[in-house]
Each structure stands twice: as structure tokens, then as C-alpha cells.
Amino acid sequence: MVEKSRFAVCISIGKTADGQLRIVLDDVERQETEPTQWRLFTFVTDAPVTETDLRQMRFSDEQLADFGRLVLGAVSIHATEA
């Protein structure tokens, strides 16, 4: 079994007031509570996306690579604390 770090990246979908979707990445910290709760540590980024593109996974290799770099970059900040 892997012991998880107390830090994680939370990926969620948000909707703006005008109805546009945004993919939101937050760096979160696990709280010592039951049930487990997460607290925002640092906002990472958000990016616009259409619902059609999201549902059909219509992203270029470059967009997917950029997204992966963002996720790994956010996780790597806490690598020594794992």
C-alpha cells in the first residue's frame, strides 16, 4: 500500500456567469479530520473549454502535454514532503 502525501491536485469543472466551462486546478492539503476534508493550499490555474470539446476529448497533443505539465508541476512542489 502507498502512503499518500498530505498534498494533492484537485481538478474540477467550473462554470462562469456567462455559461462557459473552465477546468480548474487547485493544490490542496488534506486535513486531519474524519471524514477527510481538503483545504485549498494554492490556486494553480484555470483554462476555458467547451462542453463539446470536453465530452469528445477534442484536445491537441500540445494541449494535453501542457495540462500534464501543469499537473506534474503542481504535484512536484511537495515531492519532498511525500
Asked if 51 and 20 count as a contact pair (C-beta separation under 8 A), the reply is no
Tens-place pLDDT, residues 9-33? 999 999 988 888 999 999 999 998 8
Q: How confident is the model at residue 1 (pLDDT cuts 50, 70, 90)?
A: confident
Look at the pTM and tell me if it is higher than 0.85: no
Residue 49 exposed, middle or buried by CB count within 10 Å (0-12, 13-18, 19+): middle
Among residues of the chain, what percentage have pLDDT more than 90? 55
